[in-house]
Amino acid sequence: MARVFITGSSDGLGLMAARLLASEGHGVVLHARNEQRAAEARAALPAAEAVVLGDVSTMDAMRSVAQQANALGRFDAVIHNVALGYREPRRVQTADGLSQLFAVNVLAPYLLTALMTRPDRLVYLSSGMHMGGDAGLEDLQWERRRWNGSQAYADTKLHDALLAFGVARRWPDVLSNAVDPGWVPTRMGGPGAPDDFSQAHLTQAWLAAGDDPAARVTGGFFYHRKPRRVNPAAERADLQDRLLDICRDLTGIGIA
């Protein structure tokens, strides 16, 4: 049985994946933004080994989450589920001077990947909206452009695919993949989302702990446990390396 750490798992798809994995006998550690949400997560899944605390909009909190997770022992898999949505009405600046959307959706999975004890598998939550992401990697913090929440979100979901594929190249001993869970009626997706909610958590859990050969791959992009067409930009090694270098320069921590 596997031990799996899932970021952003106090509710929504993260909690759903955790419940599924726990029901299959896997060890699960949750992550919540604050004490209140941690208490709600513990009540929702008493079988969880622990709940790690931290609002990963700041680098200090990202480092704290990595430290807390490492103190619990090595994980077989990490699901990078935490994210802000596409309906953010304005650019919010973090204590580090970054766009909060970029910090949570991109820098947090990057820094946790870099700082946590290396697992066997990594799963990064992307989105079908990544197809419209801007591959230019310019003005990532939206300092020069007029804010567009939908475009900013699409950009970060392309970045998540770049992270998954870049890590897959640099760490050939780790299975690193990206997932489109579908547009489903979560708090982020909204009540009108058309995709099948019952399917939205299955692929990330399968990639994290599945034993069949189709789940034991790397550098893939999946939807409902099937390979899915990816934005061609995500497969460009130069863009993968450039984003990894940008994140290294922002955090001072590299992924070799």
Give the pLDDT confidence score for residue 76 in this predicted structure: 98
Give the pLDDT confidence score for residue 184 in this predicted structure: 52
Closest CA to 111 of 174, 102, 213: 102
Residue 175, strand partner residues: 121
- Tell me the C-alpha distance between 76 and 107, whole Å: 22
pTM, rounded to two decimals: 0.95
Give the pLDDT confidence score for residue 194 in this predicted structure: 52
Give the pLDDT confidence score for residue 77 in this predicted structure: 99
The answer regarding whether domain 3-251 maps to CATH 3.40.50.720 reads yes
Q: What are the tens digits of pLDDT across the range 21-31?
A: 999 999 999 99
How is the beta sheet containing 50-53 ordered, strand by strand?
50-53, 27-32, 3-6, 77-80, 121-125, 175-179, 221-223, 226-227
Q: Which residues are catalytic?
A: 153, 157
Rounded to a whole number of angstroms, the CA Rg of the chain reads 16
Asked if residues 200 and 13 have their Cβ atoms less than 8 Å apart, the reply is yes
Q: What are the tens digits of pLDDT across the range 30-71?
A: 999 999 999 999 999 999 999 999 999 999 999 999 999 999
The residue count for the chain: 256
Give the pLDDT confidence score for residue 189 in this predicted structure: 52
- Vertex 53: Cα angle to 210 and 29 (nearest 5): 25
Query: How many CB atoms lie under 10 A from the CB of residue 116?
Result: 18
What six digits make up the tokens of 20?
Answer: 């599924």
What residues in the chain have per-residue pLDDT under 70?
A: 183-197
Asked if residues 187 and 199 have their Cβ atoms less than 8 Å apart, the reply is no
Give the pLDDT confidence score for residue 51 in this predicted structure: 98
